[in-house]
Amino acid sequence: MADPRLAEQARANDQEHCAVGADDAFADAVIDLVLRYQRLFARLQDNPAFRREVKAHIRLRVYGRQREAVEAHIPAGEGSREPGGEYA
């Protein structure tokens, strides 16, 4: 996590005392994530056109990954080819 505040706390404190700032940063990050996903969920529920676009995008990605797995003889769910031919 690139956080100048946490970097300064790590420089100035031992691990135990630095944990207080890290715990606060973690809580802030989780709250931010929840709020973003609440907004996304609301938009998906309230906006049928947006929902269709998201579903179409996800469907194409899932299909593409499944086709790559079939073509490479990789069991479904065991990985997908990343750019450059590597499997995740």
Same domain? For 42 and 4 the reply is: yes
Tokens standing for 40? Answer: 């996304």
What is the predicted pLDDT for the residue at 20? Answer: 80
Same domain? For 37 and 19 the reply is: yes
pTM above threshold 0.85: no
Same domain? For 51 and 41 the reply is: no
- pLDDT 10s digit of each residue in the chain, 88 long? 578 888 888 888 888 888 888 888 899 999 999 999 999 999 999 999 999 999 999 999 999 988 888 888 766 666 655 555 554 4
DSSP 81: B
Tell me the residue range of the domain where 27 lies. Answer: 1-46
- Calculate the CA 20 to chain-centre distance: 25
What is the predicted pLDDT for the residue at 41? Answer: 96
Same domain? For 38 and 73 the reply is: no
Q: 40 with 34: CB under 8 angstroms? A: no
What is the predicted pLDDT for the residue at 11? Answer: 87
Same domain? For 57 and 42 the reply is: no
